[in-house]
Amino acid sequence: MDVQTQMKELVAKAAAARVESGMILGLGSGSTAAIVIEQLGRRWRAGDLQDIKGVPTSFQAAQLASEYGIPLITLNEIDHIDLAIDGADEVDPAKNLIKGGGACHTREKLVDSRAERFLVVVDVGKLSDVLGSNFALPVEVVPGAYRQVMDQLREMGGEPHLRMAVRKAGPVVTDEGNLVVDAKFEAITEPAKMEMQINNIPGVLENGLFVGLADEVLVGEIDGDRASVRRL
């Protein structure tokens, strides 16, 4: 197993161990969150977890949870989520995040922001001093507006690109039926302001800045042969 996968496994297992019977859970998206769901699925099948319900943040999360028989529920059927566990693409020292590498950030933000506790699982490579240093900001846009949204993002200092699909001709289409524009900014120094400004552009559904939402971040690290988990 490569080093990055080892770190992901370790944080995912540590996060899944926090889950208790009776909880309503936000089920995250991406490769690290998928390992969390697999771990929960194993505990569920073994009878170690009872009476849990999952609110999926994506088609991926719903499909994986269903494979293990984890009961699913929608946001409109619940009045709270006890714990959401999700991955991230970039994390700053204040625990602000960039998400949306899997084009799921709209539903991820709905679910993660509804949780009483939002736990983020990442490997050490996701940490940065200033958001935007390493990852382009995903912006979900309605298909008819992608050109004008890209123009606006350019005016804000970003370098926007329409995200293209792999093994499908044309763009990535989100679970909500929209497109994703990835906008590279040199540095996002005021993430709360930028989150609001971008969401104010007509045609934007949601952007991948998650500001002030994460309660705790579990970071997988490797020192020599030894893998460990650090808490932020």
User: What is the set of active-site residues?
Assistant: 108
Q: Which is nearer to ligand 5RP, 122 or 149 (CB)?
A: 122
Q: Which is nearer to ligand 5RP, 3 or 22 (CB)?
A: 3
Task: Choose the stretch contacting ligand 5RP; rule: CB under 6 A; options: 29-37, 47-55, 154-162, 214-222.
Answer: 29-37
Site for ligand 5RP in 107-136 (CB under 6 A): 108
Site for ligand 5RP in 67-106 (CB under 6 A): 86-89, 99-105
Count of residues touching ligand 5RP (by CB under 6 A): 18
CA distances from 77 to 18, 42, 68, 93, 116 (A): 24, 25, 21, 35, 16
Among 5, 6, 31, 228, binds ligand 5RP (CB under 6 A): 31
CA distances from 3 to 8, 56, 59, 217, 218 (A): 9, 28, 28, 19, 16
Among 28, 41, 56, 158, binds ligand 5RP (CB under 6 A): 28
Among 14, 15, 32, 195, binds ligand 5RP (CB under 6 A): 32
Q: What is the closest distance, in whole angstroms, from the C-beta atom of residue 61 to ligand 5RP in the complex?
A: 10
Among 26, 30, 203, 220, binds ligand 5RP (CB under 6 A): 30
User: Which class for 200: exposed (0-12), middle (13-18), buried (19 or more C-beta within 10 A)?
Assistant: exposed
Pairing of strands 97-98, 90-91: antiparallel
Among 33, 40, 91, 153, binds ligand 5RP (CB under 6 A): 33
Q: What is the closest distance, in whole angstroms, from the C-beta atom of residue 73 to ligand 5RP in the complex?
A: 21
Please report, as ranges, the residues that interact with ligand 5RP according to CB under 6 A.
Answer: 28-33, 86-89, 99-105, 108
